[in-house]
Amino acid sequence: MKEININRSKKEVVILFAGDSGDGIQFTGGQFTETVELFGNDISTFPNFPAEIRAPIGTEAGVSGFQLKFGSVEVFTPGDQYDVLVVMNAAALKVNLHNLRQGGVIVANISGFDSKNLKLAKYIDDENPLTNDSLENYEVHAIDISKLTKEALKDSGLSVKEIDRCKNMFVLGFIYWMFSQSPDNTIKFIQHKFKSKPEIADANTKALKTGYHYGETSETFTSRYEVKPAPLQKGKYRNISGNQATALGMVAAANHNNFELMYASYPITPASDILHELSKHKSFGVKTFQAEDEIAAVCAAIGASFGGSLAITGSSGPGIALKAEAMGLAVMLELPLIVVNVQRGGPSTGLPTKTEQADLLQMLYGRNGEAPMPVFAAASPKDCFDTIYEACRIAIEHMTPVVVLSDGYIANGAEPWRFPTSKDLKTITPRRPDKTDFLEDKFLPYERDEHEVRPWAVPGIKGFEHRLGGLEKELRTGNVSYNPENHQEMIRIREKKVNDIALDLPDQIIHRGNEGADLLVLGWGSTFGSIERAVKDLIEEGISVAHIHLRHINPFPKNLESLLRSFKRVIIPEMNRGQLSKLIRERFLIDAISVNKTKGIPFSVEEIKQAILKHQDHVSTSA
Partner 1 sequence: MSVQVLNSSGNGNPLTAKDYATDQDVRWCPGCGDYSILKQVQTVLPTLDIPKEKTVFVSGIGCAARYPYYMNTYGMHSIHGRATAVASGLKAARPDLDVWIITGDGDALSIGGNHFIHLLRRNFNVNVLLFNNEIYGLTKGQYSPTSPKGKVTKSTPYGSVDHPFNPIALALGAEGTFVARSMDRDPKHLRDILLAAHEHKGTSFIDIYQNCNVFNDGAFGLFTDKATKDDHTLFLEDGKPLIFGKETKGIKLDGFKPIVVSLEETAADECWIHDPKDKIKASILSGFFEYDMNQGALPRPFGIFYKNERATYEDLLTEQIEDHKKTDNTDLDKLLSGENTWEVK
Task: Report in angstroms how near the CB of residue 542 gets to partner 1 at its nearest.
Answer: 31
Pick left, alpha or beta for residue 555 (phi over 0 → left; psi -120 to 50 → alpha; otherwise beta). Answer: beta
Closest approach, Cβ 36 to partner 1, in A, equals 11
| Residue 198 vs 459, nearer CB to partner 1 | 459
Q: Residue 343 pairs with which residues in a beta bridge? A: 407
C-beta of 299: minimal distance to partner 1 in Å?
4
Paired residues of 554 in beta bridges? 375
Three-state secondary structure call for residue 324: helix
CA proximity to 10, closest of 67, 62, 79: 79
Q: Please say which residue, 40 or 578, places its beta carbon nearer to partner 1.
A: 40
Select 480 or 509, whichever has its Cβ closest to partner 1. Answer: 480
Nearer to partner 1, 182 or 218 (CB): 182
CA distance linking residue 181 with residue 224, whole number of Å? 10
Q: How far is the CB of 557 from partner 1 (least distance, A)?
A: 27
CB 7 within 8 A of CB 56: no
Sheet (strand 569-574) strand order: 545-550, 519-524, 569-574, 593-596
Nearest residue (CB) to partner 1, 309 versus 527 = 309
Query: Among residues 300 and 605, whose Cβ is nearest to partner 1?
Result: 300
In the complex, the smallest distance separating the C-beta of residue 281 from partner 1, rounded to whole angstroms, is 7
Q: How far is CA 56 from the centre of its chain?
A: 28
Least spacing, CB of residue 195 vs partner 1, in Å:
15
- Minimum CB distance to partner 1 smaller for 295 or for 590: 295
Residues constituting the chain: 623
If the CB atoms of residues 94 and 367 are measured against partner 1, the closer one turns out to be: 367
Q: Nearer Cβ to partner 1, position 6 or 471?
A: 471
- Considering the complex, state which of residue 155 and residue 441 has its C-beta at the smaller distance from partner 1: 441
Shortest Å, Cβ 357 to partner 1: 28
Helices (H), 334-448: 360-365, 383-398, 408-412
Radius of gyration of the chain (CA): 27
CB of 508 to partner 1, least distance (A): 27
Q: Which residues contact 354 (CB under 8 A, 6 or more apart)?
A: 344, 345, 408, 600, 601
Q: Least distance in Å: CB of 230 to partner 1?
A: 9
Smallest separation, CB 550 to partner 1 (Å): 26
| Separation between Cα atoms, residue 211 and residue 581, nearest integer Å | 51
Q: Whole-angstrom Cα distance, residue 490 to residue 352?
A: 39
Q: Are 83 and 13 in contact (CB under 8 A)?
A: yes
Task: In angstroms, give the least distance from the CB of 259 to partner 1.
Answer: 8
DSSP 283-311: GGT-EEEE-SSHHHHHHHHHHHHHTT-EE
Neighbours of 606 (CB within 10 A): 14
DSSP bridge pairs for 523? 549
Q: How many CA atoms lie within 13 A of 571 on its CB side?
A: 25
DSSP letters for 163-196: HHTTHHHHHHHHHHHHTT--SHHHHHHHHHHTTT
Per-residue H/E/C for 29-67? HHHHHHHHHHHCCEEEEEEECCCCCCCCCCCHHHEEEEE
Closer to partner 1 by CB, 84 or 414: give it: 414
